[in-house]
Structure 1
Protein backbone atom coordinates (compact mmCIF):
# COMPACT_ATOMS: atom_id res chain seq x y z
CA UNK A 1 0.00 0.00 0.00
CA UNK A 2 1.32 3.44 -0.88
CA UNK A 3 2.06 5.98 1.85
CA UNK A 4 -0.85 8.12 0.62
CA UNK A 5 -3.30 5.22 0.70
CA UNK A 6 -2.05 4.06 4.10
CA UNK A 7 -2.46 7.51 5.58
CA UNK A 8 -5.93 7.86 4.11
CA UNK A 9 -6.85 4.50 5.63
CA UNK A 10 -5.83 5.74 9.04
CA UNK A 11 -7.87 8.91 8.56
CA UNK A 12 -10.88 6.88 7.50
CA UNK A 13 -10.53 4.70 10.56
CA UNK A 14 -10.46 7.74 12.80
CA UNK A 15 -13.71 8.96 11.27
CA UNK A 16 -15.40 5.73 12.38
CA UNK A 17 -14.46 6.15 16.04
CA UNK A 18 -17.49 6.89 18.18
CA UNK A 19 -17.50 9.81 20.60
CA UNK A 20 -16.20 8.77 24.00
CA UNK A 21 -15.95 11.12 26.94
CA UNK A 22 -12.35 11.54 28.12
CA UNK A 23 -11.16 11.64 31.71
CA UNK A 24 -11.04 15.07 33.33
CA UNK A 25 -7.75 14.75 35.26
CA UNK A 26 -4.40 15.79 33.81
CA UNK A 27 -3.20 12.30 34.73
CA UNK A 28 -6.34 10.71 33.31
CA UNK A 29 -6.24 6.94 32.89
CA UNK A 30 -8.29 4.43 30.97
CA UNK A 31 -8.25 0.68 30.82
CA UNK A 32 -7.98 -2.29 33.15
CA UNK A 33 -5.20 -3.40 35.45
CA UNK A 34 -2.46 -5.01 33.41
CA UNK A 35 -3.37 -3.10 30.24
CA UNK A 36 -0.77 -1.45 28.02
CA UNK A 37 0.60 1.68 29.70
CA UNK A 38 1.23 4.76 27.59
CA UNK A 39 2.54 8.20 28.52
CA UNK A 40 1.36 11.41 26.86
CA UNK A 41 3.51 14.52 27.38
CA UNK A 42 1.72 17.66 26.19
CA UNK A 43 3.38 21.03 25.74
CA UNK A 44 0.53 22.83 27.53
CA UNK A 45 -3.07 22.46 28.60
CA UNK A 46 -3.49 26.24 28.75
CA UNK A 47 -4.67 26.16 25.15
CA UNK A 48 -8.04 24.77 23.95
CA UNK A 49 -6.35 23.02 21.04
CA UNK A 50 -4.31 20.75 23.30
CA UNK A 51 -7.25 20.14 25.63
CA UNK A 52 -9.10 18.71 22.62
CA UNK A 53 -6.04 16.67 21.68
CA UNK A 54 -5.96 15.22 25.20
CA UNK A 55 -9.63 14.30 25.01
CA UNK A 56 -9.09 12.50 21.70
CA UNK A 57 -6.11 10.58 23.07
CA UNK A 58 -8.02 9.56 26.20
CA UNK A 59 -11.02 8.43 24.16
CA UNK A 60 -8.86 6.24 21.92
CA UNK A 61 -6.96 4.77 24.89
CA UNK A 62 -10.22 3.92 26.64
CA UNK A 63 -11.62 2.35 23.48
CA UNK A 64 -8.48 0.21 23.10
CA UNK A 65 -8.35 -0.79 26.78
CA UNK A 66 -5.02 0.96 27.29
CA UNK A 67 -3.89 2.98 30.31
CA UNK A 68 -2.90 6.56 29.49
CA UNK A 69 -1.02 8.90 31.81
CA UNK A 70 -1.07 12.56 30.73
CA UNK A 71 1.42 15.25 31.77
CA UNK A 72 1.29 19.01 31.12
CA UNK A 73 4.67 20.70 30.62
CA UNK A 74 3.19 24.21 30.92
CA UNK A 75 5.32 25.29 27.94
CA UNK A 76 8.51 24.53 29.88
CA UNK A 77 10.99 22.40 27.89
CA UNK A 78 13.02 21.39 30.96
CA UNK A 79 9.87 20.31 32.80
CA UNK A 80 8.85 18.25 29.80
CA UNK A 81 12.29 16.60 29.71
CA UNK A 82 11.77 15.52 33.33
CA UNK A 83 8.33 14.15 32.47
CA UNK A 84 9.75 12.06 29.61
CA UNK A 85 12.48 10.77 31.93
CA UNK A 86 9.83 9.79 34.47
CA UNK A 87 7.80 7.98 31.80
CA UNK A 88 10.99 6.15 30.79
CA UNK A 89 11.79 5.09 34.37
CA UNK A 90 8.17 3.92 34.75
CA UNK A 91 8.72 1.55 31.80
CA UNK A 92 5.86 2.86 29.70
CA UNK A 93 5.28 0.67 26.67
CA UNK A 94 5.26 3.77 24.48
CA UNK A 95 5.54 7.53 24.97
CA UNK A 96 3.68 10.17 22.98
CA UNK A 97 5.18 13.64 22.98
CA UNK A 98 3.89 16.99 21.82
CA UNK A 99 7.17 18.89 22.21
CA UNK A 100 7.48 22.31 23.79
CA UNK A 101 10.64 22.66 21.69
CA UNK A 102 11.51 20.21 18.92
CA UNK A 103 15.26 20.54 19.56
CA UNK A 104 15.14 20.52 23.36
CA UNK A 105 13.03 17.34 23.35
CA UNK A 106 15.77 15.38 21.57
CA UNK A 107 17.93 14.21 24.52
CA UNK A 108 15.07 12.88 26.66
CA UNK A 109 13.48 11.14 23.67
CA UNK A 110 16.87 9.66 22.82
CA UNK A 111 17.07 8.26 26.37
CA UNK A 112 13.68 6.61 25.83
CA UNK A 113 15.02 5.20 22.53
CA UNK A 114 18.01 3.73 24.38
CA UNK A 115 15.63 2.13 26.88
CA UNK A 116 13.77 0.45 24.03
CA UNK A 117 10.62 2.55 24.42
CA UNK A 118 9.05 3.67 21.12
CA UNK A 119 8.12 7.35 20.94
CA UNK A 120 5.39 8.94 18.84
CA UNK A 121 5.46 12.69 18.14
CA UNK A 122 2.17 14.54 17.75
CA UNK A 123 1.52 17.97 16.21
CA UNK A 124 5.25 18.81 16.33
CA UNK A 125 8.24 16.69 15.44
CA UNK A 126 11.31 15.85 17.54
CA UNK A 127 14.80 16.64 16.26
CA UNK A 128 17.95 14.54 16.76
CA UNK A 129 16.10 11.51 18.13
CA UNK A 130 14.12 8.60 16.75
CA UNK A 131 10.34 8.59 16.65
CA UNK A 132 8.14 5.76 15.41
CA UNK A 133 5.97 8.28 13.58
CA UNK A 134 5.00 11.93 13.62
CA UNK A 135 1.26 12.57 13.56
CA UNK A 136 0.66 16.16 12.52
CA UNK A 137 -1.54 18.47 10.54
CA UNK A 138 -0.30 19.43 7.11
CA UNK A 139 1.12 22.70 8.43
CA UNK A 140 2.90 23.73 5.24
CA UNK A 141 -0.31 23.38 3.24
CA UNK A 142 -2.17 25.19 6.01
CA UNK A 143 0.25 28.11 5.87
CA UNK A 144 -0.22 28.33 2.12
CA UNK A 145 -4.00 28.31 2.49
CA UNK A 146 -3.76 31.07 5.09
CA UNK A 147 -1.78 33.25 2.69
CA UNK A 148 -4.23 32.61 -0.12
CA UNK A 149 -7.23 33.44 2.07
CA UNK A 150 -5.67 36.67 3.34
CA UNK A 151 -4.49 37.76 -0.10
CA UNK A 152 -7.92 37.17 -1.62
CA UNK A 153 -9.66 39.15 1.11
CA UNK A 154 -7.19 42.04 0.72
CA UNK A 155 -7.58 42.11 -3.05
CA UNK A 156 -3.90 41.16 -3.31
CA UNK A 157 -2.87 44.60 -1.99
CA UNK A 158 -1.89 45.79 1.47
CA UNK A 159 0.55 45.70 4.37
CA UNK A 160 0.39 42.91 6.93
CA UNK A 161 1.74 41.71 10.26
CA UNK A 162 2.79 38.11 10.94
CA UNK A 163 2.67 36.65 14.45
CA UNK A 164 5.01 33.67 14.72
CA UNK A 165 4.50 30.80 17.15
CA UNK A 166 6.82 29.20 19.69
CA UNK A 167 10.42 29.45 18.41
CA UNK A 168 11.96 26.04 17.82
CA UNK A 169 8.68 24.24 17.12
CA UNK A 170 8.11 22.42 13.86
CA UNK A 171 4.52 23.72 13.75
CA UNK A 172 5.67 27.34 13.69
CA UNK A 173 8.46 26.62 11.25
CA UNK A 174 6.21 24.72 8.82
CA UNK A 175 3.29 27.15 8.97
CA UNK A 176 5.67 30.04 8.44
CA UNK A 177 7.32 28.25 5.54
CA UNK A 178 3.99 27.60 3.84
CA UNK A 179 2.74 31.13 4.41
CA UNK A 180 5.91 32.79 3.14
CA UNK A 181 6.11 30.60 0.04
CA UNK A 182 2.55 31.52 -0.94
CA UNK A 183 2.47 35.20 0.03
CA UNK A 184 5.47 35.84 -2.25
CA UNK A 185 3.13 35.23 -5.17
CA UNK A 186 1.33 38.47 -4.29
CA UNK A 187 3.82 41.33 -4.85
CA UNK A 188 1.21 43.88 -3.82
CA UNK A 189 1.24 42.56 -0.25
CA UNK A 190 4.09 43.65 2.02
CA UNK A 191 5.00 42.14 5.39
CA UNK A 192 5.86 45.19 7.50
CA UNK A 193 6.19 43.45 10.87
CA UNK A 194 6.93 39.89 11.98
CA UNK A 195 7.48 38.73 15.56
CA UNK A 196 7.04 35.65 17.76
CA UNK A 197 4.15 35.65 20.23
CA UNK A 198 4.67 32.03 21.36
CA UNK A 199 1.19 30.75 20.42
CA UNK A 200 -0.18 32.75 23.39
CA UNK A 201 -3.19 35.08 23.39
CA UNK A 202 -1.81 37.59 25.90
CA UNK A 203 1.50 37.75 24.05
CA UNK A 204 -0.38 38.12 20.78
CA UNK A 205 -2.10 41.17 22.26
CA UNK A 206 1.17 42.69 23.48
CA UNK A 207 3.12 42.00 20.29
CA UNK A 208 0.36 43.34 18.03
CA UNK A 209 -0.05 46.45 20.18
CA UNK A 210 3.68 47.16 19.88
CA UNK A 211 3.80 46.48 16.14
CA UNK A 212 0.81 48.73 15.50
CA UNK A 213 2.67 51.65 17.04
CA UNK A 214 5.27 51.37 14.28
CA UNK A 215 2.85 50.27 11.55
CA UNK A 216 -0.57 51.82 12.23
CA UNK A 217 -1.76 51.44 8.65
CA UNK A 218 -1.70 47.65 8.37
CA UNK A 219 -4.60 46.01 6.57
CA UNK A 220 -4.03 42.37 7.51
CA UNK A 221 -2.69 40.03 10.19
CA UNK A 222 -1.68 36.39 9.93
CA UNK A 223 -1.23 34.59 13.24
CA UNK A 224 0.14 31.04 13.32
CA UNK A 225 -2.59 30.02 15.76
CA UNK A 226 -6.02 31.23 16.83
CA UNK A 227 -4.90 32.22 20.32
CA UNK A 228 -2.46 34.80 18.93
CA UNK A 229 -5.06 35.89 16.38
CA UNK A 230 -7.52 36.54 19.21
CA UNK A 231 -4.89 38.62 20.98
CA UNK A 232 -4.37 40.59 17.77
CA UNK A 233 -8.12 41.13 17.45
CA UNK A 234 -8.22 42.60 20.95
CA UNK A 235 -5.32 44.91 20.09
CA UNK A 236 -7.08 46.05 16.91
CA UNK A 237 -10.37 46.79 18.66
CA UNK A 238 -13.05 48.01 16.27
CA UNK A 239 -10.69 47.75 13.29
CA UNK A 240 -10.66 43.93 13.42
CA UNK A 241 -12.65 42.47 10.56
CA UNK A 242 -13.28 45.90 9.06
CA UNK A 243 -10.13 47.86 8.26
CA UNK A 244 -7.88 44.93 9.18
CA UNK A 245 -8.47 41.32 8.12
CA UNK A 246 -7.23 38.64 10.51
CA UNK A 247 -6.41 35.02 9.65
CA UNK A 248 -5.66 32.46 12.35
CA UNK A 249 -4.82 28.78 12.50
CA UNK A 250 -6.22 25.83 14.53
CA UNK A 251 -10.01 26.07 14.35
CA UNK A 252 -10.54 26.42 18.09
CA UNK A 253 -14.01 27.09 19.56
CA UNK A 254 -13.02 30.68 20.37
CA UNK A 255 -11.58 31.05 16.89
CA UNK A 256 -14.85 29.93 15.34
CA UNK A 257 -16.75 32.38 17.55
CA UNK A 258 -14.57 35.17 16.17
CA UNK A 259 -15.24 33.97 12.61
CA UNK A 260 -18.99 34.05 13.29
CA UNK A 261 -18.67 37.52 14.80
CA UNK A 262 -16.70 38.73 11.80
CA UNK A 263 -13.57 39.82 13.66
CA UNK A 264 -11.56 36.87 12.28
CA UNK A 265 -11.90 36.30 8.56
CA UNK A 266 -10.52 32.74 8.39
CA UNK A 267 -9.18 30.08 10.71
CA UNK A 268 -7.22 27.22 9.18
CA UNK A 269 -8.90 24.41 11.07
CA UNK A 270 -7.02 21.43 12.40
CA UNK A 271 -8.53 18.32 13.97
CA UNK A 272 -6.93 18.16 17.43
CA UNK A 273 -9.05 15.29 18.73
CA UNK A 274 -8.16 13.25 15.63
CA UNK A 275 -4.47 14.01 16.20
CA UNK A 276 -4.71 12.66 19.75
CA UNK A 277 -6.62 9.56 18.66
CA UNK A 278 -4.21 8.79 15.84
CA UNK A 279 -1.18 9.29 18.08
CA UNK A 280 -2.49 6.74 20.59
CA UNK A 281 -3.59 4.35 17.85
CA UNK A 282 -0.15 4.35 16.23
CA UNK A 283 1.66 4.09 19.56
CA UNK A 284 -0.34 0.91 20.19
CA UNK A 285 0.42 -0.36 16.69
CA UNK A 286 4.12 0.05 17.42
CA UNK A 287 3.79 -1.75 20.77
CA UNK A 288 2.05 -4.62 18.96
CA UNK A 289 4.94 -4.93 16.52
CA UNK A 290 3.67 -3.02 13.50
CA UNK A 291 5.54 -0.10 11.96
CA UNK A 292 3.35 2.94 11.26
CA UNK A 293 4.06 5.36 8.45
CA UNK A 294 6.94 7.72 9.27
CA UNK A 295 4.71 10.76 8.66
CA UNK A 296 0.94 10.81 9.11
CA UNK A 297 -0.57 14.05 7.86
CA UNK A 298 -4.04 15.23 8.85
CA UNK A 299 -5.71 17.63 6.38
CA UNK A 300 -6.56 21.21 7.38
CA UNK A 301 -9.56 23.22 6.21
CA UNK A 302 -9.97 27.00 5.77
CA UNK A 303 -13.05 27.96 7.79
CA UNK A 304 -14.77 31.30 7.18
CA UNK A 305 -18.25 32.79 7.45
CA UNK A 306 -19.49 30.61 4.59
CA UNK A 307 -18.73 27.25 6.22
CA UNK A 308 -18.17 27.91 9.93
CA UNK A 309 -21.50 26.39 10.97
CA UNK A 310 -20.43 23.10 9.42
CA UNK A 311 -17.26 22.87 11.51
CA UNK A 312 -18.22 24.55 14.78
Structure 2
Protein backbone atom coordinates (compact mmCIF):
# COMPACT_ATOMS: atom_id res chain seq x y z
CA UNK A 1 0.00 0.00 0.00
CA UNK A 2 2.84 2.35 0.90
CA UNK A 3 4.50 1.61 -2.47
CA UNK A 4 1.22 2.38 -4.27
CA UNK A 5 0.87 5.75 -2.50
CA UNK A 6 4.50 6.56 -3.31
CA UNK A 7 3.92 5.63 -6.98
CA UNK A 8 0.76 7.77 -7.18
CA UNK A 9 2.53 10.71 -5.52
CA UNK A 10 5.46 10.45 -7.91
CA UNK A 11 3.10 10.26 -10.89
CA UNK A 12 1.17 13.28 -9.64
CA UNK A 13 4.34 15.32 -9.13
CA UNK A 14 5.56 14.31 -12.60
CA UNK A 15 2.24 15.35 -14.11
CA UNK A 16 2.31 18.70 -12.34
CA UNK A 17 5.87 19.28 -13.48
CA UNK A 18 4.86 18.52 -17.07
CA UNK A 19 1.97 21.00 -16.87
CA UNK A 20 4.23 23.63 -15.31
CA UNK A 21 6.89 23.05 -17.97
CA UNK A 22 4.27 23.42 -20.69
CA UNK A 23 2.82 26.55 -19.09
CA UNK A 24 6.23 28.16 -18.90
CA UNK A 25 7.16 27.60 -22.53
CA UNK A 26 9.02 30.49 -24.11
CA UNK A 27 7.38 32.37 -26.95
CA UNK A 28 8.72 35.61 -28.41
CA UNK A 29 7.56 38.85 -29.92
CA UNK A 30 9.93 40.69 -32.27
CA UNK A 31 8.85 44.28 -32.82
CA UNK A 32 10.01 46.60 -35.59
CA UNK A 33 10.66 49.30 -32.99
CA UNK A 34 9.84 50.15 -29.39
CA UNK A 35 10.42 53.83 -30.13
CA UNK A 36 6.77 54.20 -31.08
CA UNK A 37 3.79 54.19 -28.68
CA UNK A 38 1.77 51.98 -31.03
CA UNK A 39 4.22 49.08 -30.79
CA UNK A 40 4.69 49.60 -27.06
CA UNK A 41 0.93 49.07 -26.69
CA UNK A 42 1.19 45.95 -28.86
CA UNK A 43 3.94 44.63 -26.59
CA UNK A 44 1.88 45.41 -23.46
CA UNK A 45 -1.13 43.55 -24.84
CA UNK A 46 1.01 40.53 -25.70
CA UNK A 47 2.69 40.51 -22.28
CA UNK A 48 -0.59 40.69 -20.40
CA UNK A 49 -2.09 37.81 -22.40
CA UNK A 50 1.10 35.72 -22.11
CA UNK A 51 1.04 36.12 -18.34
CA UNK A 52 -2.63 35.16 -18.27
CA UNK A 53 -2.01 32.01 -20.33
CA UNK A 54 1.15 31.05 -18.44
CA UNK A 55 3.80 31.70 -21.11
CA UNK A 56 7.15 33.39 -20.70
CA UNK A 57 7.24 36.11 -23.39
CA UNK A 58 10.62 37.24 -24.73
CA UNK A 59 10.48 40.77 -26.20
CA UNK A 60 13.03 41.90 -28.79
CA UNK A 61 13.37 45.27 -30.54
CA UNK A 62 14.58 45.35 -34.17
CA UNK A 63 15.12 49.13 -34.09
CA UNK A 64 13.66 49.44 -37.62
CA UNK A 65 16.70 47.55 -38.95
CA UNK A 66 16.12 44.39 -41.05
CA UNK A 67 19.61 43.07 -40.19
CA UNK A 68 18.86 43.47 -36.48
CA UNK A 69 15.53 41.74 -37.07
CA UNK A 70 17.28 38.77 -38.70
CA UNK A 71 19.78 38.62 -35.82
CA UNK A 72 16.91 38.66 -33.30
CA UNK A 73 15.17 35.73 -34.98
CA UNK A 74 18.45 33.83 -35.28
CA UNK A 75 18.96 34.29 -31.53
CA UNK A 76 15.45 33.01 -30.84
CA UNK A 77 16.01 29.84 -32.88
CA UNK A 78 19.11 29.12 -30.78
CA UNK A 79 17.14 29.75 -27.59
CA UNK A 80 14.53 27.27 -28.70
CA UNK A 81 11.36 29.35 -28.42
CA UNK A 82 8.15 27.55 -29.30
CA UNK A 83 6.56 30.32 -31.39
CA UNK A 84 7.52 33.73 -32.77
CA UNK A 85 5.24 36.73 -33.17
CA UNK A 86 6.85 39.24 -35.51
CA UNK A 87 5.99 42.78 -36.52
CA UNK A 88 8.16 43.16 -39.65
CA UNK A 89 10.46 46.10 -40.30
CA UNK A 90 9.87 45.50 -44.02
CA UNK A 91 7.51 43.06 -45.71
CA UNK A 92 10.20 41.85 -48.14
CA UNK A 93 13.27 41.93 -45.88
CA UNK A 94 11.54 39.99 -43.09
CA UNK A 95 11.31 36.97 -45.42
CA UNK A 96 14.86 35.88 -44.55
CA UNK A 97 14.05 35.90 -40.84
CA UNK A 98 10.84 33.96 -41.38
CA UNK A 99 12.58 31.33 -43.51
CA UNK A 100 15.13 30.94 -40.72
CA UNK A 101 12.31 30.22 -38.28
CA UNK A 102 10.69 27.90 -40.84
CA UNK A 103 13.88 25.82 -41.03
CA UNK A 104 13.90 25.59 -37.24
CA UNK A 105 10.24 24.46 -37.40
CA UNK A 106 9.12 27.39 -35.23
CA UNK A 107 5.63 28.67 -36.12
CA UNK A 108 5.56 32.36 -37.10
CA UNK A 109 2.67 34.81 -36.69
CA UNK A 110 2.91 38.27 -38.26
CA UNK A 111 1.41 41.30 -36.52
CA UNK A 112 0.19 44.55 -38.16
CA UNK A 113 2.54 44.20 -41.16
CA UNK A 114 2.57 41.18 -43.42
CA UNK A 115 5.42 39.22 -45.00
CA UNK A 116 5.77 38.77 -48.74
CA UNK A 117 7.66 35.46 -48.51
CA UNK A 118 8.18 32.62 -46.06
CA UNK A 119 5.62 30.43 -44.29
CA UNK A 120 3.40 32.26 -41.80
CA UNK A 121 0.69 30.38 -39.87
CA UNK A 122 -1.42 33.51 -39.33
CA UNK A 123 -1.44 37.25 -39.98
CA UNK A 124 -3.17 39.54 -37.47
CA UNK A 125 -3.86 43.12 -38.55
CA UNK A 126 -6.41 45.83 -39.09
CA UNK A 127 -7.87 46.29 -42.56
CA UNK A 128 -5.41 48.99 -43.60
CA UNK A 129 -7.03 49.55 -47.00
CA UNK A 130 -10.40 50.21 -45.35
CA UNK A 131 -8.68 52.55 -42.88
CA UNK A 132 -7.10 54.58 -45.67
CA UNK A 133 -10.51 54.86 -47.31
CA UNK A 134 -12.02 56.04 -44.02
CA UNK A 135 -9.42 58.82 -43.86
CA UNK A 136 -10.12 59.86 -47.46
CA UNK A 137 -13.88 59.95 -46.93
CA UNK A 138 -13.46 61.99 -43.73
CA UNK A 139 -11.34 64.61 -45.52
CA UNK A 140 -13.78 64.75 -48.43
CA UNK A 141 -16.70 65.24 -46.03
CA UNK A 142 -14.95 67.98 -44.05
CA UNK A 143 -13.19 69.95 -46.81
CA UNK A 144 -15.25 69.04 -49.86
CA UNK A 145 -14.85 66.93 -53.01
CA UNK A 146 -12.21 69.25 -54.49
CA UNK A 147 -9.91 69.25 -51.43
CA UNK A 148 -6.20 69.83 -52.04
CA UNK A 149 -4.41 67.13 -50.06
CA UNK A 150 -0.96 65.89 -49.10
CA UNK A 151 -0.14 62.35 -47.98
CA UNK A 152 2.70 61.46 -45.61
CA UNK A 153 3.73 57.87 -46.26
CA UNK A 154 5.16 55.34 -43.81
CA UNK A 155 8.22 53.15 -44.29
CA UNK A 156 8.51 52.08 -47.91
CA UNK A 157 8.21 48.33 -48.30
CA UNK A 158 5.86 47.77 -45.36
CA UNK A 159 2.43 46.33 -46.06
CA UNK A 160 0.86 48.88 -43.70
CA UNK A 161 2.20 51.84 -45.71
CA UNK A 162 1.26 50.27 -49.02
CA UNK A 163 -2.27 49.31 -47.97
CA UNK A 164 -3.11 52.57 -46.16
CA UNK A 165 -1.91 54.51 -49.18
CA UNK A 166 -3.93 52.27 -51.48
CA UNK A 167 -7.10 52.88 -49.49
CA UNK A 168 -6.58 56.64 -49.38
CA UNK A 169 -5.85 56.80 -53.10
CA UNK A 170 -9.01 54.79 -53.82
CA UNK A 171 -10.96 57.78 -52.54
CA UNK A 172 -8.74 60.44 -54.14
CA UNK A 173 -8.90 58.80 -57.57
CA UNK A 174 -12.67 58.40 -57.49
CA UNK A 175 -13.33 61.99 -56.50
CA UNK A 176 -12.18 65.44 -57.58
CA UNK A 177 -9.65 65.74 -54.76
CA UNK A 178 -6.24 67.01 -55.86
CA UNK A 179 -3.19 65.19 -54.48
CA UNK A 180 -0.49 67.85 -54.25
CA UNK A 181 2.24 65.56 -52.94
CA UNK A 182 2.84 62.15 -51.37
CA UNK A 183 6.18 61.67 -49.60
CA UNK A 184 7.63 59.21 -47.06
CA UNK A 185 8.28 60.28 -43.48
CA UNK A 186 8.94 56.73 -42.23
CA UNK A 187 6.23 56.62 -39.53
CA UNK A 188 8.42 59.02 -37.51
CA UNK A 189 7.29 62.20 -35.72
CA UNK A 190 10.47 64.22 -36.33
CA UNK A 191 10.56 63.23 -40.00
CA UNK A 192 6.88 64.11 -40.24
CA UNK A 193 7.71 67.59 -38.97
CA UNK A 194 10.65 68.09 -41.34
CA UNK A 195 8.89 66.74 -44.44
CA UNK A 196 5.78 68.81 -43.71
CA UNK A 197 7.81 72.00 -43.33
CA UNK A 198 9.20 71.50 -46.84
CA UNK A 199 5.82 70.57 -48.31
CA UNK A 200 4.14 73.63 -46.80
CA UNK A 201 6.67 75.81 -48.60
CA UNK A 202 6.14 73.97 -51.88
CA UNK A 203 2.33 73.75 -51.54
CA UNK A 204 1.04 76.67 -49.45
CA UNK A 205 -2.53 76.06 -50.69
CA UNK A 206 -2.82 72.60 -49.05
CA UNK A 207 -6.11 72.08 -47.22
CA UNK A 208 -5.71 68.65 -45.67
CA UNK A 209 -3.04 66.08 -44.78
CA UNK A 210 -3.40 62.34 -44.41
CA UNK A 211 -0.54 60.90 -42.40
CA UNK A 212 -0.29 57.11 -42.40
CA UNK A 213 0.29 57.03 -38.66
CA UNK A 214 -0.27 59.31 -35.67
CA UNK A 215 3.43 59.96 -35.11
CA UNK A 216 3.80 61.57 -38.56
CA UNK A 217 0.47 63.34 -38.09
CA UNK A 218 1.66 64.92 -34.83
CA UNK A 219 4.94 65.99 -36.45
CA UNK A 220 3.05 67.50 -39.39
CA UNK A 221 0.73 69.25 -36.96
CA UNK A 222 3.67 71.01 -35.30
CA UNK A 223 4.91 72.27 -38.66
CA UNK A 224 1.44 73.51 -39.60
CA UNK A 225 0.93 75.26 -36.27
CA UNK A 226 4.32 76.97 -36.60
CA UNK A 227 3.34 78.20 -40.07
CA UNK A 228 0.11 79.73 -38.81
CA UNK A 229 -1.91 77.93 -41.48
CA UNK A 230 -5.20 76.10 -40.95
CA UNK A 231 -4.91 72.60 -42.39
CA UNK A 232 -6.96 69.53 -41.49
CA UNK A 233 -4.73 66.65 -40.38
CA UNK A 234 -5.86 63.03 -40.17
CA UNK A 235 -3.69 60.36 -38.57
CA UNK A 236 -3.85 56.58 -38.25
CA UNK A 237 -3.41 54.16 -35.32
CA UNK A 238 -5.37 55.79 -32.50
CA UNK A 239 -2.38 56.10 -30.18
CA UNK A 240 -2.74 57.79 -26.79
CA UNK A 241 -1.06 60.98 -28.08
CA UNK A 242 -3.11 60.91 -31.28
CA UNK A 243 -6.44 60.57 -29.49
CA UNK A 244 -5.45 63.32 -27.02
CA UNK A 245 -4.70 65.64 -29.96
CA UNK A 246 -8.12 64.87 -31.46
CA UNK A 247 -9.85 65.58 -28.14
CA UNK A 248 -8.24 68.98 -27.81
CA UNK A 249 -9.20 69.84 -31.38
CA UNK A 250 -5.69 69.93 -32.83
CA UNK A 251 -5.88 66.74 -34.91
CA UNK A 252 -8.95 66.37 -37.11
CA UNK A 253 -9.25 62.62 -36.65
CA UNK A 254 -7.36 59.38 -36.28
CA UNK A 255 -8.23 55.97 -37.67
CA UNK A 256 -7.94 53.94 -34.48
CA UNK A 257 -6.37 50.53 -34.46
CA UNK A 258 -6.25 48.38 -31.35
CA UNK A 259 -2.54 47.55 -30.94
CA UNK A 260 -2.95 45.93 -27.51
CA UNK A 261 -5.61 43.64 -28.96
CA UNK A 262 -3.35 42.76 -31.91
CA UNK A 263 -0.62 41.74 -29.44
CA UNK A 264 -3.05 39.76 -27.30
CA UNK A 265 -4.52 37.97 -30.31
CA UNK A 266 -0.99 37.08 -31.37
CA UNK A 267 -0.39 35.23 -28.10
CA UNK A 268 -3.83 33.59 -28.20
CA UNK A 269 -3.14 32.39 -31.74
CA UNK A 270 0.30 31.05 -30.76
CA UNK A 271 -1.29 29.20 -27.85
CA UNK A 272 -3.83 27.58 -30.18
CA UNK A 273 -1.14 26.60 -32.70
CA UNK A 274 1.00 25.01 -29.98
CA UNK A 275 -2.01 23.02 -28.82
CA UNK A 276 -2.46 21.67 -32.33
CA UNK A 277 -5.61 23.65 -33.11
CA UNK A 278 -6.40 25.10 -36.53
CA UNK A 279 -6.23 28.89 -36.88
CA UNK A 280 -7.32 31.30 -39.61
CA UNK A 281 -4.59 32.49 -41.97
CA UNK A 282 -5.91 36.05 -41.67
CA UNK A 283 -7.31 37.46 -38.43
CA UNK A 284 -8.82 40.96 -38.84
CA UNK A 285 -8.95 43.49 -36.00
CA UNK A 286 -11.70 46.18 -36.15
CA UNK A 287 -10.95 49.85 -36.87
CA UNK A 288 -12.87 52.94 -35.80
CA UNK A 289 -12.80 56.63 -36.70
CA UNK A 290 -12.11 58.95 -33.75
CA UNK A 291 -13.00 62.57 -34.49
Q: TM-score normalized by structure 2?
A: 0.91
Q: Deviations over 1:83-118 (max 9, x none)?
A: 011111111100010001111110111111111110
Which residue number corresponds to residue 180 of structure 1?
A: 169
Which residue number corresponds to residue 269 of structure 2?
A: 282
Displacement after TM superposition at 1:52 (Å): 0.5
Displacement after TM superposition at 1:261 (Å): 1.8
Once residues 134 and 99 of structure 1 are traced to their aligned partners in structure 2, the CA distance between those partners, rounded to angstroms, is 11
Q: Deviations over 1:184-217 (max 9, x none)?
A: 2221x10111100000000000111111111111
Match of 2:140 among 142, 147, 151: 151
The change in CA–CA distance for 1:47 and 1:236 in structure 2 (over 3 A counts) is same
1:55 is the counterpart of 2:44 = yes
- SS, match of residue 99 in structure 1: coil
1:265 is the counterpart of 2:252 = yes
- Matched residue pairs, number? 272
Which segments of 5 or more consecutive residues in structure 2 lack a partner in the other structure? 1-18
Q: Deviations over 1:201-249 (max 9, x none)?
A: 0000011111111111100000000000000000101668x72101000
8 A contact 1:41–1:73 mirrored in 2: yes
8 A contact 1:32–1:66 mirrored in 2: no
Displacement after TM superposition at 1:66 (Å): 0.6
Which residue number corresponds to residue 230 of structure 1?
A: 218
Which residue number corresponds to residue 103 of structure 2?
A: 114
Once residues 244 and 223 of structure 1 are traced to their aligned partners in structure 2, the CA distance between those partners, rounded to angstroms, is 12
Once residues 45 and 277 of structure 1 are traced to their aligned partners in structure 2, the CA distance between those partners, rounded to angstroms, is 17
Which residue number corresponds to residue 164 of structure 1?
A: 153
Match of 2:125 among 136, 139, 145: 136
Aligned pairs for 1:92-107 within 5 A:
92-107=81-96
Match of 1:205 among 193, 215, 222: 193
Q: TM-score normalized by structure 1?
A: 0.85
Which residue number corresponds to residue 16 of structure 2?
A: none
RMSD: 1.5
Q: Deviations over 1:40-92 (max 9, x none)?
A: 10001111111110000000000000110000111111101100111111111
Q: Deviations over 1:122-158 (max 9, x none)?
A: 0001121010100001111101101000111102222
Which segments of 5 or more consecutive residues in structure 1 lack a partner in the other structure? 1-30, 305-312
The change in CA–CA distance for 1:296 and 1:42 in structure 2 (over 3 A counts) is same
Which residue number corresponds to residue 232 of structure 2?
A: 245
- SS, match of residue 289 in structure 1: coil
- SS, match of residue 40 in structure 1: strand
Match of 2:181 among 190, 193, 200: 193
